Amino acid sequence: MNSFPEAKNRGLVRGCCAMLAAWAVSSGALATTAKDANAFQDTLDVPAIAQSKLAERSLIGIARAGDRLVAVGLRGLIMYTDDQGATWKQANVPVQSDLLAVQFADPHQGWAVGHDGVILHSADAGQTWTKQMDGRTAQAQARDYYEPLANGGDEAAAQALGVIDANYRSGPALPYLDVWFSDVAHGYVVGAFGNIMATHDGGKTWESWLLHIDNPDGLHLNSIRGINGRIYIAAEQGNVFRLEPGSQRFERIATGYTGSFFGIAGNARMLLAYGLRGTLYRSQDNGSTWAPVKSPSQATITAGTALPAAGFVLVNSAGQLLLGDDNADSFRMVSLDRYMRLTSVIPLHGSAVALTGLSGVIEQRLPSQ
């Protein structure tokens, strides 16, 4: 049953995000008014417009808010369903920036992030959203924090200030690529060129964490996840970062891979990092050491998750779904009910998952392992 409608490489950001951004511009993503189609308005200053055929829109991320599903996509689109995808409603969103990731810390409190350094918050399970931060305010705040330290001779702060200046030289366009909250108070956002921020009060205030990560090259931080009591970041050049509780610092772990990881998933025994050209690496010691896993596809893996019962499910840019066993020893391809280029996946009830992609959102039943 289907109730859903059908490195320092400054060009590569995350999976298909650069491509999506190009599509957004070419299709007119810059905000305009009905009175004057030629008048420019910053996408950070105007609310998302109402859209039709929601379940067929290009979507990048999806999350659970209790029993509700909330999905995000281009031009500030956020939508939600309370009936497993039979019907969708559009949320009230204050920006038209492309949104790339969403996560809920509990059934009510959620955060979404995306282009222009935007961080959005919802306190009502995704129906309405407010802006907590954007690239303009983040730049000013970071400079206010690092500049006095740099002027006082703090070399690390001076380097961080240089990163801030480089990242915002062309304005507040750089995206946050992912968000993770351990609870309703403590959370992190990560993004292009090493951008990372943290909050300890539910996003009322955000602080730059450039001094809390071993990333002097400003590698893209593509994904962040809390797994089995630890927090990990998947990044460029085969790097995984792990937050060390004592030092409150993300330490770099080399995996032996030299390409980009776009995400990380895990269960109580296993971590699985995935990325370019179908690359898979797994760790059985909380990320300290890694080994490659054979993949049945060379298409870039864009998202993945551990299943509640057992196993892993991954999706890729070629519209393929990869189903793996609980130890991530092997993966096999599963035929989809409807083809589309896939961007995210979350478990549903029973043996089903929700998939988002460039053609919308679907529910997919999984075969038994």
Query: What CATH code is carried by the domain that includes residue 37?
Result: 2.130.10.10
Question: Whole-angstrom Cα distance, residue 309 to residue 247?
Answer: 34
Tell me, yes or no, whether 11 lies in a domain: no
Q: How large is the average pLDDT for residues 240-246? A: 97
Residues 6+ apart with CB under 8 A from 272: 264, 265, 266, 280, 281, 282, 293, 304, 306, 312, 324, 328
Spatial separation of the C-alpha atoms in residues 52 and 13, rounded to whole Å: 29
**Helix, strand or coil for residue 76?**
helix
Cβ–Cβ < 8 Å for 302, 317: yes
pLDDT of residue 271: 97
Average pLDDT over residues 274-298: 97
Q: Is the pLDDT of residue 296 over 50?
A: yes
DSSP state of 267: -
pLDDT of residue 155: 93
Residue 150 CA to residue 158 CA, distance in Å, equals 5
Average pLDDT, the chain: 89
Confidence class for position 311, pLDDT limits 50, 70, 90: very high
Task: Judge whether 5 lies within some domain.
Answer: no
**Residue 344 covered by a domain:** yes
pLDDT at residue number 39: 65
Domain that residue 189 falls in: 17-365
Give 341's DSSP letter: -
The Cα 51–Cα 312 span in angstroms is: 34
In a domain, 302, yes or no: yes
Q: Is residue 1 part of a domain?
A: no
What pLDDT does 369 receive? 59
For the cut 50, the answer to whether the pLDDT of residue 113 exceeds it is yes
Q: With respect to residue 3, please indicate whether it lies within any of the assigned structural domains.
A: no
- The answer, as to whether pTM is greater than 0.85, is yes
Is residue 64 assigned to a domain? yes
| In the chain, % of residues over pLDDT 70 | 89
Side by side, the strands of the sheet bearing 271-275 are 261-266, 271-275, 280-283, 291-293
Q: What is the mean pLDDT of residues 42-68?
A: 96
Euclidean distance between CA atoms 127 and 186, whole angstroms: 22
In a domain, 6, yes or no: no
Domains of the chain: total: 1
Phi (first) and psi of residue 82, to 5 degrees: -110, 5
Q: Which residue is listed with tokens 């590698």?
A: 219
pLDDT tens, 252-261? 999 999 999 9
